[in-house]
């Protein structure tokens, strides 16, 4: 027997149990949900982007503590007044923590949220940026003298 969405109701409970055990379903208070992330380097900064579709900007929290950036977001449950036919979008608290390199200037970390994507920009500290060393002519003569 299948529903109009092609789902076998006998396997629905198995799916819920699997999701609960792996921490991906709504109502899993023991483990926070994670969010997909990409990180790359752009010149003298690192950029991290997090996919957070349907998350309200008010529920986002980005903080720097010690040597880590923590991103928290919450997607609230739509309520019990709905009869769910398919529930694949997890609800609850999402958390992701990035260990920072000591070369990051934590005072200049910036976060922007647009179109369901949170972008965290992590600039290198001035001391960590590459520096050009001047070559002085005649240095060998000064050393041998």
pLDDT at residue 26, as a whole number: 46
- Confidence check: pLDDT of 57 > 90: yes
Please tell me which residue, 74 or 127, carries the higher pLDDT value.
74
CATH for 9-126? 2.60.40.790
pLDDT band at residue 39 using 50, 70 and 90 as cut-offs: very high
Residue 14 has pLDDT above 80, yes or no: no
Is the pLDDT at 13 greater than 80? The verdict is no
pLDDT in tens, 115-125: 999 999 999 88
Domain ranges of the chain: 9-126
Q: Which residues contact 25 (CB under 8 A, 6 or more apart)?
A: 16, 19, 90
- pLDDT, position 118: 96
Residues 136-145 have a mean pLDDT of 64
Tokens encoding 30: 């023991």
**Given a cut of 80, is residue 19 above it in pLDDT?**
no
Could you tell me the CA-to-CA distances from 10 to 1, 14, 111 in Å, in that order? Answer: 9, 8, 44
Contact 117, 48 (CB under 8 A): no
Tell me if 51 sits within 8 A of 113, measured CB to CB: no
């Amino acid at each position: 027997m299948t529903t109009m969405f092609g789902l076998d109701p006998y396997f629905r409970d198995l799916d819920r149990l699997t999701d609960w055990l792996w921490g991906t379903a709504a109502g899993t208070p023991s483990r926070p949900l994670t969010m997909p992330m990409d990180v790359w380097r752009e010149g003298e900064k690192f950029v991290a982007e997090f996919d957070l579709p349907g998350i309200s900007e008010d529920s986002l929290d980005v903080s720097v503590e010690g040597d880590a950036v923590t991103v928290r977001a919450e997607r609230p449950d739509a309520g019990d007044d709905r009869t769910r036919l398919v529930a694949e979008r997890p609800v609850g608290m999402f958390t992701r923590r990035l260990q920072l390199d000591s070369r990051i200037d934590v005072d200049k970390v910036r976060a922007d949220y647009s179109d369901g994507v949170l972008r965290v920009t992590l600039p290198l500290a001035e001391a960590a940026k590459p520096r050009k060393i001047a070559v002085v002519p005649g240095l060998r003569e000064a050393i041998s003298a």
